[in-house]
Amino acid sequence: MKNLIVIALTIILSFQLFSQNNENDEKNFLKNTRQLIYEGKRSGEGYFSQDGRYMIFQSEREPDNPFYQIYILDFETGDINRVSPGHGKTTCSFFQWGDDGDRVLFASSHLDPDVLKEEAEEYKMREEGKAKRYKWDYEPYMDIFTTNRDGSDIKQLTTAMGYDAEGAYSPDGKLIVFASNRKLYADNLTKEEKEKAEVDPSYFCDLYIMNADGSDMHILTDAKGYDGGPF
């Protein structure tokens, strides 16, 4: 019995020491931290506009959609407005830079024919308390879109079956680089590749580049394994 008590106390003290060390380590790298976003189940992936006035980010806060949507925060006014369509899953938003940088890009699955069904199933699962481990789904209907900063004039830039996301503008705003696993949906996959796809669809991601209007797209990488996140 004494041994169990000693072990339990050791675990508790070790956890407290680990937590304290983590806080101290964080202070070595981060200073003057403060929370910007409070509303919603969770938020993340925030990026600044070129002039630093705005931040674009993703957040779960829509009353009729449990998944991430894209929002812009105005630091001067405190206003937050949604720029994505409101349905489906969205991610990887970015401001267009350059002299004519009045657009934003993001990835969205709102054109998935089963989008409303997926939202309803997610809501039902959460209501039943069936929490699942968080992981990112490489949606086959995820495509790159751009809009004005107020969410108007939405344009679809990619149409191939597969996950197209993780996009970013070049510094002059004329090019977009992004990740895609569209090769996963080709007809010439080997048996080994098909088995790999079941376990890790991100393995087939490569980097692509295109003009800001979606034209002249071509692949940049073709090595085996994940190539992505070119922010």
Lowest-pLDDT choice from 92-96, 98-102, 123-127, 139-143: 98-102
What average pLDDT does the segment 190-202 reach?
90
Q: Which single residue is written with the structure tokens 């206003």?
A: 79
Query: What does the pLDDT look like over 131-160, one tens digit per residue?
Result: 777 677 899 999 999 999 999 999 999 999
pTM attached to this predicted model: 0.85
Q: Where are the domains of the chain?
A: 1-33, 34-219
Query: pLDDT: is 175 or 30 the higher one?
Result: 175
Pairing of strands 69-74, 54-59: antiparallel
d(CA 114, CA 110): 9
Paired strand residues for 218: 209
- Would you state the pLDDT for residue 23? 62
pLDDT band at 100 (very low <50, low <70, confident <90, very high): confident
34-219 has which CATH code? 2.40.128
Contact (CB, 8 A) for 39 and 19? no
Ramachandran angles phi, psi of 230, nearest 5°: -85, 55
